[in-house]
A and B are shown apart, each in its own frame.
Chain A
Amino acid sequence: GAVVSQHPSWVICKSGTSVKIECRSLDFQATTMFWYRQFPKQSLMLMATSNEGSKATYEQGVEKDKFLINHASLTLSTLTVTSAHPEDSSFYICSAPYQGYNEQFFGPGTRLTVL
């Protein structure tokens, strides 16, 4: 099956700093990628849809100036958490649809801890 990678797998940062998370589709092109956030023992909450060559579409309640998304190429989307605070600590996961939208492949996730 298709492979989606994320980097880094975990990151610890100080409050007020910015963190960039990369999501790559390794063996296929993805014009669309999705970013989710998951708190412990909770479900995946869609944050935004990343579109190659255009602006991301954010879900209601997600601050676009805090969570910057850039879909620079057909295989790379980045999520930057700006001015991170402890409440931003979470598991961030990206996904990409492969050969249609019936199936999405998820990256391994990035665990962000803000001190």
Chain B
Amino acid sequence: GQSLEQPSEVTAVEGAIVQINCTYQTSGFYGLSWYQQHDGGAPTFLSYNALDGLEETGRFSSFLSRSDSYGYLLLQELQMKDSASYFCAVRDGAAGNKLTFGGGTRVLVKP
């Protein structure tokens, strides 16, 4: 089966940097995704890493180490609107490309 671990909650101030770690145990690994979800809303795609290394998209970056079954999402220059839940998810290409989500990390940005 699949399992993903990520911290349940992180609090930081505006302008700070937050790193959300995600470790996973899975079979048929194709890639690690990150999604953002505001309360009451739908998850929105942030990034996808299939290969080792860092992917940068604006203020958000995502990293993957396949050998360590580990990845992280880096949120820089935090803004109040970044307060949300962040989920890592593993894509299982051997099982219909379905996503298995981690428990989610609730990020609270304070002024």
User: Which positions in A face B, CB cutoff 8 Å?
Assistant: 32, 34, 41-46, 49, 57, 93, 95, 97, 101-109
Interface residues of B in 38-64 (CB under 8 A from A): 41-45, 48, 50
Give the docked Cα–Cα distance between A46 and B97 (Å).
Answer: 12
Seen from chain B, the residues whose Cβ lies within 8 Å of a Cβ on chain A are 30-31, 33, 35, 41-45, 48, 50, 87, 91, 93, 96-104, 106
A103-B43 Cα distance, complex, nearest whole Å: 11
B97 touches A97 (CB 8 A): yes
**Chain A interface helix/strand/loop/mixed:** strand
A57: chain B residues within 8 A (beta carbon): 96
Report which of A32, A46, A102, A105 forms a contact with B31, defined as CB distance below 8 A.
A102
Bound complex: CA A57 to CA B104 (Å): 25
A104 close to B45 (CB less than 8 A)? yes
State which of B41, B50, B98, B100 has its C-beta within 8 Å of the C-beta of A102: B50
| Cα of A104 to Cα of B103 in the assembled complex, Å | 18
Residue of B nearest to A48 (CB): B98
Rounded to whole Å, the gap between the CB of B39 and the closest CB of chain A is 9
Closest to A57 in B: B96
Roughly how many angstroms separate A47 CA and B83 CA in the complex, as a whole number?
27
CB distance from A92 to the nearest CB of B (A): 11
Q: A41-B106, A46-B98, A106-B42 are in contact. List 4 more A-B contacts (CB 8 A).
A: A34-B99, A46-B100, A103-B33, A104-B45
| A49→B30 CA distance, assembly (Å) | 18
Instruction: Say how far A88's CB is from chain B's closest CB, in angstroms.
Output: 19
Assembly CA distance A51 to B43 (angstroms): 21
Minimum-distance CB pairs A-B, first 6: A101-B97, A106-B42, A102-B48, A44-B101, A43-B101, A103-B45
Most chain A CB neighbours (cut-off 10 Å) among B44, B98, B100, B106: B98
CB distance from A56 to the nearest CB of B (A): 11
Q: List 16 A-B contacts (CB under 8 A).
A: A32-B97, A34-B98, A41-B106, A43-B101, A43-B102, A44-B43, A44-B101, A46-B98, A46-B99, A49-B96, A95-B99, A101-B30, A101-B93, A106-B44, A109-B41, A109-B42
